[in-house]
Structure 1
Amino acid sequence: MKKAVLAMAALAACTSSAWAQSSVTLYGIVDAAVRYVSNNNGAQKQLVPGGMSESRLGVNITEDMGGGLKALANLEHRLNSDTGTIAAAEFWRQAWVGLQSNDFGQIRLGRQYNILFDVYTSTYASFRYSPYIEAFKPEIGLSAGARQSNMVKYLGQVGNFYGELQVSAGEGTGAADKSVGGLLRYNDGTIGLGGAYLQVTDLLGKKVKATTIGGSYTSGPLYVNLSWGQNKFDQGGQLGAAFTSGLIKGYNSIAVLNAAANDVKKRDMIMGGLTYQLTPQLNLGAEYWRAEQTHYAVALANTKSKADHFAVVADYAFSKRTDAYVEADYTKYTGAVAFSNGATKRGGTMVGLRHRF
């Protein structure tokens, strides 16, 4: 009897040890800012649910299965911190499960960020302390929706080189029905270089082809970035409206950058800027974006529409988790593009508070 009890105790200890290798981590960001926007049917004052970052709540799951193999999963919900409502039609903005091997890399299945978003935010992000400004993010307008559903993604690393491949199955359930693409990037802690290509196909067989390349340089308190991106749209596709109507997400002040929903032929953007860490707590940053696009409409065939965007940010960290920021931005359009109220110029500024956990 004693032997049986000892055997059961040993088995329980082994089981407890095995379960101890699993972890579930709850994480999130709560961000809110007071924002002022000019020339939006008069001046507009708002409490926006995310100035530098969109508020979110997520769960990361990791199980160490031994032998260099891990099981992974992620669920992430985006929310509006000003009203407590959901930020998008789908409750889970990310929902994927995967496996990671020390020798063979990582594979993920489900809804997740696409390779364009990955390379923009990892290799030549607009700001060192925050990849982009949530309330003013022209570069994300070139990332083909930033996420895709029904995706299989492979991630691998050899030394300082990183690669990703993605394929989204065509299931006939949404406008952005299929995708295929890849990225390659390099980062040694000082120099970051990368590029990506993604092709998205709608239910009509029409394609959007997106390309980006760029780099960054980090030295002590200084961070500098420069990149180029391009989107090409097949005429008559369903993705023109989805991928062109919101070059800037400006809460009730969305930029309409096409004369008609599916009129955009090609869009190019160059962006560059710098961040400087003035003190351990204070970061100063500035970024400039220049976009040009051509149109399919006969009346606009010889028209090249242009957009100039500029933003500056001062961010002060009270701690590792909590920071406050002051931001100012400016936009100017020429050609066949304008804001939804017909304005071609607009300024904005905001003061916000962000907490990460």
Structure 2
Amino acid sequence: MKKASLALSLLALSTTGAWAQSSVTLYGIVDAAVRMTTNAGATAATNGKSIKTLQPGGMSQSRLGINVTEDMGGGLKAIANLEHRLMSDTGTATAADFWRQSWVGLQSNDFGRITLGRQYNILFDIYTSTYPSFRYSPYIEAYKPEIGMSLTARQDNMVKYLVESGGLRGEIQVSAGEGSAAGGKSMGGLLRYAQGEFAVGGAILQLKDGGGKKVTATTFGGNYTSGPLYLTASWARNKFQTGFSAPTNGALAASIVGALNAASALAEHRDMWSVGATYQLDAQWNLGAHYWHAKQNGTIAAGDGKGDFFAVVADYAFSKRTDAYLEFDHTKIGGNLTLANGARKRSGFMMGVRHRF
């Protein structure tokens, strides 16, 4: 009897080991660049001053992450992710939220994937999966007007469901405000279709502030890839309900040019159109260029204005994991808007190295 019990116990242990296969993967990016920015003085008296910095993430924000997968059999997996963003120049965290992503979920071959926690929103997903600005990098970390339209790119307290069939992908997200004074309640969906050389898609997301006022973000676009050539185009709109007060309704393209004059802080709506191209010269060299045009209508005339943004990048791959890049960008603000220091134009020059593991 004892021998039979021992045999059954050993069989159970061996069966469990075969049934649940777990893996933990450590990944990351370390990116740093030397950057010079013109017209970057803090005040009107110094707005012509150029500033030189060691940029802690030129093409990509430096990060360290952990992916967890457990194969539970029958096409079902448990998945989880923790990702920390860091400043490569100082070794400090980029923001108060130490974990920029922190989610857990289940993935099924038949029913799709559901994830719960702090994660990228559907606007960020559609931009980076369907019409990224550059073929070799979805956006330039140090200069990213398109990400400024994505309602902070992440949401807390989120439940997201993703399902794919052939070239069709759908996503929905819901996040709870949980009584926060800053709000954060959201709801939205994404639809994407990719076939051969083409990919098209769009998304809509509504976010509420602490007072229940809404901002609605809509975007659509696509890309075309043929051999070494990559072309992309997109449109986006952020429409704000009167009285919306969350930090999302900051200045036009504030994520790349800094705060604009105070009159721009409350927009009624913003639109952005963009076109770009990347050409792979050979196995190591990629050349890319992108242009964005944004227009803002304010709640008062003083908030009306526009912005033109342009960037070119030459990227050289030493290997599959390490590359170096040269980048130039230019910003021009018009209408009733200016930069916080009174300037209307700004240029940036950047040279950096990026390693992925």
Aligned 1:52-63 pairs, distance under 5 A = 52-63=59-70
Aligned residue number for residue 13 of structure 1 = 14
Q: Does 1:74 align with 2:74?
A: no
Aligned residue number for residue 40 of structure 1 = 40
Deviations 1:80-126 (A, max 9, x none): 00000000111111111111111111111111100000001110000
Task: Tell me the secondary structure at the aligned position of residue 126 of structure 1.
Answer: coil
Aligned residue number for residue 101 of structure 2 = 94
- Which of 264, 267, 280 is equivalent to 2:283? 280
Gapped regions of structure 2 (runs ≥ 5): 42-48
Q: Does 1:150 align with 2:157?
A: yes
Aligned residue number for residue 294 of structure 1 = 297
**Displacement of 1:262:** 4.2
The letter of the residue matching 1:268 is D
Q: Does 1:242 align with 2:248?
A: yes
2:272 and 2:294 in contact (8 A); partners too: yes
Distance in 1 (CA, whole Å) between partners of 2:242 and 2:261 is 13
- Which of 46, 50, 57 is equivalent to 1:50? 57
2:29 and 2:64 in contact (8 A); partners too: yes
**Displacement of 1:348:** 0.3
The letter of the residue matching 1:234 is Q
1:100 and 1:106 in contact (8 A); partners too: yes
Aligned 1:1-357 pairs, distance under 5 A = 6-19=7-20, 21-41=21-41, 42-239=49-246, 241-245=247-251, 247-250=253-256, 254-257=257-260, 259-260=262-263, 262-297=265-300, 299-300=301-302, 304-357=304-357
Task: Tell me the secondary structure at the aligned position of residue 121 of structure 1.
Answer: helix
Q: 1:120 to 1:258 in 2, by over 3 A?
A: farther
Task: Tell me the secondary structure at the aligned position of residue 17 of structure 1.
Answer: helix
1:135 and 1:248 in contact (8 A); partners too: no
The letter of the residue matching 1:23 is S
Task: Tell me the secondary structure at the aligned position of residue 94 of structure 1.
Answer: strand
Deviations 1:258-298 (A, max 9, x none): 6346421110000011000001111000000000001112x
The letter of the residue matching 2:40 is N
Task: Tell me the secondary structure at the aligned position of residue 338 of structure 1.
Answer: coil
Fraction of identical pairs, as percent = 61
1:255 and 1:338 in contact (8 A); partners too: no
Equivalences, count:
349
TM-score, scaled to structure 2: 0.93
Deviations 1:321-342 (A, max 9, x none): 1110000000000122222211
Task: Tell me the secondary structure at the aligned position of residue 53 of structure 1.
Answer: coil
**Displacement of 1:34:** 0.4
Distance in 2 (CA, whole Å) between partners of 1:79 and 1:103 is 37
**Displacement of 1:9:** 4.1
Between stretches 335-344 and 211-220, larger displacement belongs to 335-344
Between stretches 175-184 and 191-200, larger displacement belongs to 175-184
The letter of the residue matching 1:119 is I
TM-score, scaled to structure 1: 0.93
Aligned residue number for residue 45 of structure 2 = none
Distance in 2 (CA, whole Å) between partners of 1:215 and 1:351 is 29
The letter of the residue matching 1:329 is D
Task: Tell me the secondary structure at the aligned position of residue 72 of structure 2.
Answer: strand
Gapped regions of structure 1 (runs ≥ 5): none
Task: Tell me the secondary structure at the aligned position of residue 320 of structure 2.
Answer: coil
